[in-house]
Amino acid sequence: MPAHGTPHIAAAPGDFAPLVLMPGDPRRARRIAETFLEGARLVTDVRGIFGYTGTHQGEPMSVLASGMGIPSVSIYATELLRHYGVRRIARVGTAGAIPASVALRDVVIASAAHTDSQVGRLPDSGVTLSLAPSHRLLGAAVRAAEQEQPDGGGAVRIGPVFSTDHFYLDRPAVFDTLERRGTLAVEMEAAGLYAVAAAEGGEALAVLTATDHLRTGEQLTAAERETCFARAVRIAADALLAD
């Protein structure tokens, strides 16, 4: 790696911990650094994508924003895993609930990521990969969720999500089909993260908070979105620390 960093990350070698929390929004990255990590210092801010490194429960841990969409998260995850010695990345983001059984503020742990992107297709092979998280991180997140103390938030759900390239996707039949197949929520990054982790030999997991509902039209305000994801961050961080 060049001493000045990668094309999208200005951190020096050793600036990132092996364990990384990855929200989409740079403001969430800063909030996690300020309220969740201890002794956090800014290590990169290229293109306004903030990255910090500190500790959590005495272990080095970093946070880096991914931006929106599969191409963006794929770039940052690849550079972290390939050039900075990162071993595990946990996405902590927002999602739109699909079935009525998932309510606003529920946490969704993504056991698989369906997608309409080409990220799961191997070139010139006709093969589409199954995009799934690290089994170790998934199991650790489920155990962490079971030990969480009730704090007025929603339930924790474990199941597939749909990672789409289209934020304004107006295709109800697609969501009907996905719901019949057990899909819990729609978002825009998990499939890209899982694909990169598989390609680079890393471990990945997505822990999401339902902030919108496709069926009811309910949605949290911008301020609520910024403050309701603490439980997902705790679950994701516990998973990163698992043996």
Q: Which residues contact 68 (CB under 8 A, 6 or more apart)?
A: 24, 167, 188, 189
Residue 175 lies in a domain: yes
Residue 121 lies in a domain: yes
Q: Measured in whole angstroms, how far is the alpha carbon of residue 217 from the centre of its chain?
A: 23
User: Residue 50's pLDDT is what?
Assistant: 96
Residue 229 or 176, more confident: 176
CATH code for position 159: 3.40.50.1580
Q: What is the per-residue burial (b if ≥16 Cβ within 10 Å, else e) of 210-219?
A: bbbbbeeeee
Residue 111 structure tokens: 């056991």
Residue 9 lies in a domain: no
Kindly compute the dihedral angle of the four CA atoms of residues 98, 163, 205, 99, in this order, to the nearest 10 degrees: 10
Residue 142 lies in a domain: yes
Residue 102 or 224, more confident: 102
Residue 154 lies in a domain: yes
| Domains identified in the chain, total number | 1
Residue 197 lies in a domain: yes
User: Residue 182's pLDDT is what?
Assistant: 97
126 torsion bin: left (phi>0), alpha (psi -120 to 50), beta (else):
left
Q: Could you identify the residue written with the tokens 């609930």?
A: 97
Share the mean pLDDT of the chain: 93
Residue 229 lies in a domain: yes
Q: Which amino acid is at 199?
A: A
Q: Classify residue 1 as exposed, middle or buried by CB count within 10 Å of its CB (0-12, 13-18, 19+).
A: middle
169 pLDDT higher than 80: no
Query: pLDDT for 182-194, tens place per residue?
Result: 999 999 999 999 9
Domain of residue 147: give its range.
Answer: 19-240
Catalytic residue among 45, 151, 212, 243: 212
Q: Is 212 an active-site residue? A: yes
Residue 50 lies in a domain: yes
DSSP of 73-101: HHHHHHHHHHHS---EEEEEEEEEE-STT
210 pLDDT higher than 90: yes
Query: pLDDT for 19-69, tens place per residue?
Result: 999 999 999 999 999 999 999 999 999 999 999 999 999 999 999 999 999
